Homo-oligomer: A and B are copies of this chain.
Amino acid sequence: MKIDPIDILKQNDLKHTKQRVRVLEEIAMDNVAISQPELEKKLGKEIDRVTLYRILNVYEDKGILHRVMDLNGTANYAICSSSCTSEHHHDEHVHFNCTNCHKIYCLDVTIPQVKMPAGFSAVALNSTAYGVCEKCNARVKN
């Protein structure tokens, strides 16, 4: 999937600023979700802390990014599939949270449906696996 930050901004009626473009570029870099602290480390020289928060919030509201919480309650962000809108976030894939490098991967694995008990109506289902990721496993072996 090709990501064009400028297209995304236009489609969502957002003004085109270099900060917003940079954030999208950074998050689209690979298929892992990136945490707010990491983003801040990478973009801190170019973008103010506050602006970063605001951009991330706008993107989440618009359905451009989805937010995943890791075990420490830190927010991680990844590009949403194209079907997400501000009304509906479809985030129906399994996440993988590496306990070594703390990266969160969006796996290409759909979440198996589970039966809810009577009275409970679910609108979304999240699933996160914890363990050691590809890269960290490789690093140990070699």
Listed in ascending order, the chain A residues whose CB lies under 8 Å from chain B are 67, 69-71, 73-75, 94, 96, 99, 105, 107-109, 111-112, 114-134, 137-138
Contact = CB atoms under 8 A, between A and B. Distances in A.
A134 B121 CA distance: 8
A109 B119 contact: no
A45 B77 CA distance: 38
A87 B115 CA distance: 30
Given A111-B114, A120-B132, 13 more contacts: A67-B71, A69-B70, A73-B74, A94-B114, A107-B116, A107-B117, A114-B127, A120-B133, A120-B134, A120-B137, A122-B130, A126-B128, A127-B127
A68 to B, nearest CB: 10
